[in-house]
Amino acid sequence: MNWFEFLLRNRGEVLARSVEHIGLVAASMGIALLIGLPLGIALVRRDRAQRWVLSAANIVQTIPSLALFGFLIPVPWIGGVGASTAIVALALYALLPILRNTCTGIAGVDPAVIEAARGMGMTQRQLLWQVQLPLAAPVLLAGIRVATVISIGVATIAAAIGAGGLGVFIFRGVAMVNNQVILAGAIPAALLAVVVDLSLGAFQRSLAQK
């Protein structure tokens, strides 16, 4: 029996785990965007604060993912074993690319455009929504793309703390010393990452062309 037959025979569980996996990634990306975008926007033109926040996000990024999951388990409210802890950890990982690209994207807008916008009487809010964000959109989206792909990969480790997802197959396969079981988790996860990367990439290019 090769891994493909195994996958077909267990398609019910593979599908259920894939849905779980997507759920983990979607929830964590949602949280990361909700925090990262406004925070990134707030940090534009606040150089010192920006350095601090980006360094903090950088440090989070360097913590090995398995360790981060472990660290979060004893934390009250968000911790414990299960999906919610995993979602928090994944959101923390996704934060850096989103924050960094929000800051660099907005900072990269032509200063002449900003000066004209302000000089013609746009309010800060109008400047942000009508000028800075649309012009930063391709860079912003690049950050979201990187963050999502990382999340899909790291989310396989979430199974270690009982969060489910495609990692369940991988850990089970490792325990059973059975490559077919490992591949039943690894291949759908890889496919998922490739599909998301390609489609967000296409969207990004269409934005850049506009």
Q: Identify which of residues 122 and 187 has a Cβ nearer to another protein in the complex.
A: 122
136, two tokens: 């930063």
Does residue 107 touch another protein according to CB under 8 A?
A: no
Q: Angle CA(147)–CA(103)–CA(129) in degrees, nearest 5?
A: 100
Given the complex with another protein, which of 58 and 206 has the nearer CB atom?
206
- Could you tell me the CA-to-CA distances from 166 to 65, 83, 89, 163 in Å, in that order? 16, 13, 17, 10
x/- site string to another protein, residues 108 to 127, per CB under 8 A? --x-xxxxxxxxxxxx--x-
Alpha carbon distance 192, 202 (integer Å): 15
Rounded to a whole number of angstroms, the minimum distance from the CB of residue 48 to another protein is 16
Residue 204 beta carbon to another protein: minimum distance, rounded to whole angstroms? 15
* Shortest reach from residue 25's CB to another protein, in Å: 30
Q: Which is nearer to another protein, 202 or 208 (CB)?
A: 208
Question: Closest CB to another protein among 126 and 199?
Answer: 126
Cβ at position 129, least distance to another protein in Å: 12
What are the distances in angstroms from CA 2 to CA 15, 83, 94, 175, 207?
Answer: 18, 31, 35, 18, 42
CB neighbourhood size of 136 (10 A): 24
Q: Which two tokens stand for residue 68?
A: 């981060």
Q: Interface residues with another protein (CB under 8 A)?
A: 110, 112-123, 126, 130-131, 134-135, 210
